[in-house]
Amino acid sequence: MQGLKCLILEGICLAAVFLGCSFLGMSGKEPDHLGTIAEVEAGQTQEEGDKDYIRWVDFNVTSQAMEDACQWDISTYGRDIHLNWIELLACLGARYGGDFKSYRSEDMENLAEKLTEGTDTIASVTANLQYYDYYLEAYEAVLGGLVGLYEREVADDAGQKSWEKVYGLKACSPIAAGFEYSDYDDFGVSRTYGYERRHLGHDMMGLVGTPVIAVESGYVSALGWNQYGGWRIGISSFDGKRYYYYAHLRQNRPYAQGLEVGDVVLAGDVIGYMGRTGYSKEENVNNIKVNHLHFGLQLIFDESQREGANEIWIDVYPIVKFLEKKRSQVQRNDETKEWSRTLLIRDPEAERYIREQGGDGGLPDKNEKAAGIHGGLRSGNWI
């Protein structure tokens, strides 16, 4: 048993990435090396009095595993036994030692059937999985805002719209429906602008002006020029654990009209437009050779990880593949040449955040403008 524990720990250490790196999203820099096993082990060591929080995550859950787990979660919602998709993934993650290369849909099905039959519980099947709690917290940080209750507009054959309550996948692909793009898993490949470093995001190549979509509901926490990312947007999740980074946006008109720092956006909203800006200290310069969206996701377990040497960026390629089936439908305003979502949603997490910010259950002043633009909150379409 002790030998097995050592093998599992060694596997986890081998999977760790990018400690001691900084990145363009918040600090204006990208990492210049991959974390070594020694650095990982050093980073995991906590001196007496140090906070106890996750210091790295290597997320390699496959899109198929996410799809299978998500379907079990949705299909069991409202039943006596409701399966949580993140718990399912964390259980298998602990069994696999974090390596989903060996994932089979049968593994998910067998686990889910045991739980739905009531002969086992998630507590009983994970009791002897030493690292289950780690994977649960890590995967919750990555996927926590993607599935849940919300309301969405639906249109009938006559074009009449109404609202329906839904439990399911709230998150959307970063690229709007109807717009072609190409991509491959380029996380960790070499970059040379400024200095030798590793790519801690995912590039999605397409046409200039392609509408860029908010993957998850959240608030705009960064907006403006970055010498590496060009015109970029940073959106933070309401729980503060995820920072979504959208870079190399269009020259001259990079953002959705009126978008400002502090604005609340909903999953599926148009937030900007694909371009090729960046690689310049001078603003509004097209120094990127190929039009593309750089999409990244940073995890934050402690404020010390928000900016600097302790940042955690994960490979979002499997998440992008998982979200391909959920692409936001958009429409163009010929007068303004702006794109916007065709059908609105109501996200209770956004409502909760706005109420908390307002202090009295109402919309705070800083979000009133966003509420009127993104999601139709002020137009009476919000609950």
Q: What is the mean pLDDT of residues 209-236?
A: 97
The mean pLDDT of 52-60, rounded to a whole number, is 95
Question: Is residue 305 over pLDDT 50?
Answer: yes
State the residue range of the domain holding 97.
63-143
| Per-residue confidence (pLDDT) for residue 188, from 0 to 100 | 76
Q: Is residue 296 part of a domain?
A: yes
42 falls within a domain: no
**pLDDT for residue 383:** 27
Residue 78 is predicted with a pLDDT of 96
Of the pLDDT bands very low, low, confident and very high (cuts 50, 70, 90), residue 4 is very low
**1: confidence class by pLDDT, cuts 50, 70, 90:** very low
Residue 353 sits in the same domain as residue 214: yes
CATH number, domain at 340? 2.70.70.10
| Residue 50: band (very low, low, confident or very high) from pLDDT cuts 50, 70, 90 | low
Mean predicted confidence (pLDDT) in 293-318: 95
Q: What is the mean pLDDT of residues 54-67?
A: 96
Same domain? For 200 and 317 the reply is: yes
Q: pLDDT digit string (tens) for 155-198?
A: 998 889 999 999 999 999 999 999 999 999 888 787 766 556 67
Least confident interval from 282-286, 293-297, 361-365? 361-365
Identify whether residues 187 and 116 lie together within a single domain.
no
pLDDT at 11 over 90: no
Report CA-CA distances (Å) from 354 to 32, 147, 327. Answer: 38, 20, 25
Residue 284 lies in a domain: yes
**Position 22 confidence tier, pLDDT thresholds 50, 70, 90:** very low
pLDDT above 70 as % of the chain:
79
**What is the pLDDT averaged over residues 217-221?**
98
Domain boundary pick from 96, 127, 143: 143
Is the residue at 31 inside a domain? no
Higher local confidence (pLDDT), 379 or 71 = 71
Residues 6 or more apart whose CB falls under 8 angstroms from that of 28 comprise: 226, 227, 228
- Per-residue pLDDT, 311: 94
Per-residue pLDDT, 6: 43
Read off the tokens for 228: 């590496």
Is 56 a domain residue? no
The average pLDDT across 96-102 equals 95
Pair (206, 118) in one structural domain:
no
Number of Cα atoms under 13 Å in the Cβ half of residue 115? 26
Dist. CA 375–CA 32, nearest whole Å: 39
Examine the pLDDT at 21 and tell me if it is beyond 70.
Answer: no
The answer on 231 and 341 residing in a single domain is yes
Q: Is the pLDDT of residue 34 over 50?
A: no
Indicate the Cα dihedral angle 98, 99, 102, 103, nearest 10°.
Answer: 50
pLDDT (mean) for 69-76: 98
Q: pLDDT band for 18, please (50, 70, 90 cuts).
A: very low
Q: Count up the domains in the chain and report the number.
A: 2
Give domain status of residue 288, yes or no. Answer: yes
Q: Does residue 221 share a domain with residue 299?
A: yes
Does 133 lie in the same domain as 68? yes
Q: Is residue 254 part of a domain?
A: yes
Q: How far apart are CA 345 and CA 173, in angstroms?
A: 15
188 and 337 co-located in one domain: yes
Mean pLDDT is lowest, of 48-57, 137-146, 331-340, for 48-57
Which pLDDT belongs to residue 370?
40
Residues 337, 220 share a domain = yes
CA–CA separation, 293 vs 206, rounded Å? 8
Average pLDDT over residues 143-157: 96
Q: How far apart are CA 68 and CA 109, in angstroms?
A: 8
How does pLDDT run across 249-281, given as a tens digit for each residue?
A: 999 999 999 999 999 999 999 999 999 999 999
- List residues bridging with 247 in a β-sheet: 294
Q: Are residues 258 and 114 in the same domain?
A: no
- Give the residue, 383 or 352, on which the prediction is more confident: 352
- The per-residue pLDDT for 346 is 98
For residue 58, is it within any domain?
no
In a shared domain, residues 207 and 345: yes
Contact indicator for 175, 215 with CB cutoff of 8 Å? no
Same domain, 269 and 183: yes
